[in-house]
Every structure is written in C-alpha cells, then in structure tokens.
Homo-oligomer: A and B are copies of this chain.
C-alpha cells in the first residue's frame, strides 16, 4: 500500500495523532489561556514595552534563541585545526541559499588575512599579454551572478565502511550553496589572449598552503567565475576574500579561494592536492586522478538525527538534491530502505549545479521506517546505493561518496544514521 496519503489541503495537523510535544489549540481552548501570560488572547510581555532602537545593529545577527545553529568541527577528523573542515548545519537550513555565515569551511592552512588594497590577481604563462589585476580592475568587467553549490569531495567520506557520524551536519555538511557574483574567467582569459598551446590552467590561492589546482582549459573557458561577492555582499574571509574561483559542479577545492595567480600551461601541474590528495584509490591500489565532478546526490533534511519526529500524522519529508552535471530531474523517496520508491516533488527554483529542494507529503503511522532519497539529474545519472558504489570503488576511497543515505526512524521518532543494502 502506498505511503502517500490523499492529503486534502485542509486539516494537516488536526489529522495528526499527537504523541508528544506541542498541542494545537482549537476554539474551545482559545479562551482558556488566561493563565498563560504570553499566549493569545493575552498580550505578551514583549508587546507591553518598546523594543530595540532602529539601527541598533548596523550589521544584524541572528536571534540569541538560534545560537546553536552554527558551523561545527570534528576535532578527531584532521591532525591540525588549520587544515580541517567545519560543517554547515543542513538540518536547520531552508530554501537553497546557505547563509554566508554558515557556509562550510575547508582550508589547507587556515584563513589568511588578505588586504584587498594590496591583493592582486596575476594571469600569465601561455598568453599574449600577461596581466596583473587589482580589485578595482576586476570590478569594472561585466559581471555575472549565479546560484551554485560548492561541495567538498570528502563530503560523506568517513562512511565508506558504514555509518559513523550521528548527525546530518557531519554526514553531508561539507555542502553549501550561494549566489555568486564576479567576472567570468573566460572574460579575463580573453583579455590576456590565450595561446593555442595552452591546454590547462593552474589556479593558486594566497593562503599559507598556496593551495593550487590544475583545471583543463575547456572548463576554464566554460562557466568558471572569478567571484568577489556572495549572497549580495563581498565574499567572507573564510570563503576567499577578496576573490575566489567558483568552479561550478566540480570538487570544492578547485574553486580556489584567495585567488592570486592563474598560469596558462600545456599540461597539468600534478600538485600535492591532485596527487597525494583528492584522488580516488581504487580496489587494486591504483589512484584515479582528476575525478572533478560532484555527481548527483541527495539527502532528507527535515527528518534526520537532529530532527526527530515528535508526532505521528502529517509531515513534509523535505531534503536537498544536487548534481555537478546540471539540473536535478527528479528525486524519489523510500520508506522501506529502497525496496519501493515514490516520486517526490521539486519545489522552488530548479537551477543548474545548485541545491534543489524536494518534498513529499507523508503521514507517519508511528511504525519504524528506513527513509531514503535518490536523485536523478538531467543527464540520466541515478544516485547509487553504497553497495553499487563499493562494487566499483572498493573500500580504499575517501572522496566522491555520493551514495544513498538511509535514516532509520524508530517508533519513538528518533532517527539514526543507518545502512541498508
């Protein structure tokens, strides 16, 4: 029998069988609240006085009641906190824009304090006219604005051998999505005049690691942006202030932060971060290099370890899907660990290489469930199970684990990170 109920537009909550938590008040109860001072029809205490002055916060911050919604680190994950990760709180985020304050971090030598007045971008190598741009120069070029996700290829990489992290923030939180504004790299490359011999670029950051990656010229001339703004304002220090590459759909580390140098060359540079790191070690011990694309992926976010269910009855099963190859075409959800699937709806904007929200209206009967989501992108690629991925990749990998996530919902409403064939 289908899990999907024919939900009318009315009575979403009144159909619910409340097992715990808040109780919706109906008319008979409305006027019995006189002993609860801040509840209607009473006038709450905060209406009985004037509030904080307009302009008291020239640059606003969240409510103190939301102080637990922050980026978090996992101390044991890396040897040093200057080369580590902080995770976005995906369980608490809505829509497709990640607040810049909550964008995940992955740095290789911490966050440098770059002076925008002194910072320069040099483009040189196999070009007619090498140039050095200051930030004012870059601001004068025609700009583009695009919403794109950035994901670390190590996202989920702790779980090749099975569930380990008991929070969505840590299983999938190396993922964020922003509105980026800047100059197309192709515009700057046209300015310097790319020689025919140039087949690759090197992008290098101005951090202590001189974090660098080789990128094929075809991608460099396609949709890459030299970005200076994120979600309307100048890029934050942790996201590459004053400029970074945004390399849509590819491993996050190729979107080089604090960008200082682009060199045009005829072959890749084989840097540390594309040889000893960011390669996929296969079952036979060989390493697949230059596996840049973040393949289609998805996860349920409204029901997860941080968001247990308090009530039976109606729930919107919501989550995010994304693909480095283009748009999400559809997302299916399963409540029985992948035995049967039902089509979710996509809601809001469905953009190229951006987070996409999916939604499925559902009535929980209180029984245990194995909840999954499965994304398909516009190329026809279908998100694999962990077993399908292991069959190809084995157990030696860290990167590019985009397999289907299973959340185990117990009869109490608790949710655990689980594995299901």
Name A residues whose Cβ lies closer than 8 Å to a Cβ of B.
9-14, 16, 21-22, 24-27, 29-30, 33, 38-41, 44, 46-63, 65-66, 69-73, 81-86, 92-103, 105-107, 109-120, 122, 124, 129-134, 136-137, 140-147, 179-181, 187, 190-191, 193, 206-208, 210, 228-229, 231-234, 236-238, 241-242, 260-261, 310-311, 314-316, 318, 347-349, 357, 359, 361
Instruction: Tell which of A44, A54, A102, A113 has the most Cβ of chain B within 10 Å.
Output: A54
Within 8 Å CB of A50, what residues of B?
Answer: 82, 109-110, 208
Q: Which of B70, B105, B130, B141 contacts A13 (CB 8 A)?
A: B141
User: A41 CA to B400 CA in the complex, in Å?
Assistant: 35
> Could you tell me the distance between the alpha carbons of A116 and B33 in the complex, rounded to whole angstroms?
17
Assess whether B130 is in contact with A54, with CB atoms less than 8 Å apart.
Answer: no
Minimum CB–CB distance for A248 against chain B, Å: 14
Q: Is the CB of B234 within 8 A of A47?
A: no
Contact of A97 among B97, B115, B117, B206 (CB under 8 A): B97
* B contact residues around A311 at 8 Å (CB): 140
CB distance from A89 to the nearest CB of B (A): 9
- Say yes or no: A55 contacts B81, CB within 8 Å: yes
User: Given A9-B190, A137-B13, A311-B140, are A46 and B231 neighbors across the interface (CB < 8 Å)?
Assistant: no
Check B316 against A238 for contact (C-beta < 8 Å): no
For the complex, would chain A's binding face be called helix, strand, loop or mixed by DSSP majority?
Answer: loop
Rounded to whole Å, the gap between the CB of A305 and the closest CB of chain B is 17
Chain B: minimal CB distance from A61 (Å): 7
- Contact at A44–B357, with CB atoms within 8 Å? no
Given A12-B191, A72-B55, A137-B22, check contact A207 B47 (CB 8 Å).
Answer: yes
Copies in the complex: 2
B44 to A95, Cβ gap below 8 A?
A: no
Q: Which of B13, B53, B132, B191 contacts A39 (CB 8 A)?
A: B132
A53, A124, A144 — most chain B CB neighbours (10 Å): A53
A334 CB, nearest partner CB in chain B, Å: 20
Q: Which residue on chain B has the smallest CB distance to residue A311?
A: B140
Q: How far, in whole Å, are A55 and B77 apart by their CA atoms in the complex?
A: 13
- The residues of B that contact A124 with a CB separation of less than 8 Å are 27, 30
Residue from B71, B193, B208, B261 within 8 A of A59 (CB atoms): B71
Return the contact of A54 from the options B66, B101, B105 (Cβ within 8 A): B105
Do the beta carbons of A232 and B95 come within 8 Å of each other? yes
Given contacts A30-B132, A46-B207, A94-B232, could you give 7 more A-B pairs where the C-beta distance is less than 8 Å?
Answer: A26-B130, A27-B131, A44-B206, A54-B83, A60-B100, A94-B145, A102-B233
